[in-house]
Amino acid sequence: MGCKQASRMAPEVLMEVTNTGTGDNVTVRIVDQCSNRGLDLDEGVFRQIDADGKGYAQGHLIVNYQFVDCGVAIAEQCGRQAGGKLCPNNLCCSQYGWCGSSDDYCSPSKNCQSNCKGGGGGGGGGGGGGSASNVRATYHLYNPQQHGWDLNAVSAYCSTWDASKPYSWRSKYGWTAFCGPVGPHGQPSCGKCLSVTNTGTGAKTTVRIVDQCSNGGLDLDVNVFRQLDTDGKGYERGHLTVNYQFVDCGDSFNPLFSIMKSSVIN
């Protein structure tokens, strides 16, 4: 069959598309007409089933397709909607749990969940990792101010990698343990920063990940918890409900700035 002409019915029609070369498949919705007597896939969909890159190299894929029942529920592909799953081929995960490569999928301003544009690598304090909403946040008595911001003193998981970081780095933000539904876990999460917002009051702060947890969300230092719990309701019920987003920690060293600053001092 060629390209669909009935544009009015198109938004209600789904098809399963399979790359004949690799077997990769995806379900898509028809939203437009074309003139190539086949399919004109969104770039994100094309990349998703072009696992071996041959389609990109030759400018097209050879596929099989079949129409599927629109009443059949289609599970989301990534993020909190899919148990924290990442998209294949470095595609971005949208706020709704779908994989793609456009700004609707990749822009942090549109709540991209993972592989977002401008994302940083693990452990370096970059902003990559995405975001999640309505997450449980409890509190832990780290009290770093009482321990000289020493990660070893509180037996933080990330102390193995970050205990020797400068005091200015360790004390720049309040601390949290992280085990949220979206984002890296274990060592790759260490040192990264989160913008955390109390969904009830809108109170917001930035924290640094220094530890692991097991509550499926965040375990904030008690001082950070108090900072966000502006109406006291979090303390009453023992937890806050928060949104979080990975953000750039601003830790990058700028040697030119340092040289200029040194020259001014001298």
Among candidate residues 206, 196, 213, 212, the one with its CA nearest the CA of residue 250: 206
* Residue 72 CB neighbours (<10 A): 8
Q: Please give the pLDDT value at position 184.
A: 87
Q: Which of 53-62, 71-80, 191-200, 240-249 has the lowest mean pLDDT?
A: 71-80
**Which of these CATH numbers, 3.40.190.10, 2.40.40.10, 3.50.50.60, 1.50.10.20, describes 10-68?**
2.40.40.10
Tokens, residue 22: 């690799």
- Enumerate the H helices of the chain as residue ranges: 43-49, 54-58, 103-106, 159-162, 167-170, 222-228, 233-237, 255-265
DSSP per position, 199-213:
TTT--EEEEEEEEE-
Domains 10-68 and 118-247 share a fold: yes
pTM above 0.75, yes or no: no
Rounded CA separation 238/109 (Å): 31
Nearest Cα to Cα of residue 84 among 18, 131, 37: 131
Assigned CATH for 118-247: 2.40.40.10
Work out whether strand 174-178 and strand 63-68 pair parallel, antiparallel, or are unpaired. Answer: unpaired
Over the stretch 117-155, which tens digit does the pLDDT of each residue have?
643 333 345 555 688 889 999 999 999 999 999 999 999
70 — pLDDT class (breaks 50, 70, 90): low
Q: Please give the C-alpha separations between residue 198 and each of 42, 106, 135, 201, 241, in angstroms, as whole numbers.
A: 36, 24, 10, 6, 6
Q: Where are the domains of the chain?
A: 10-68, 118-247
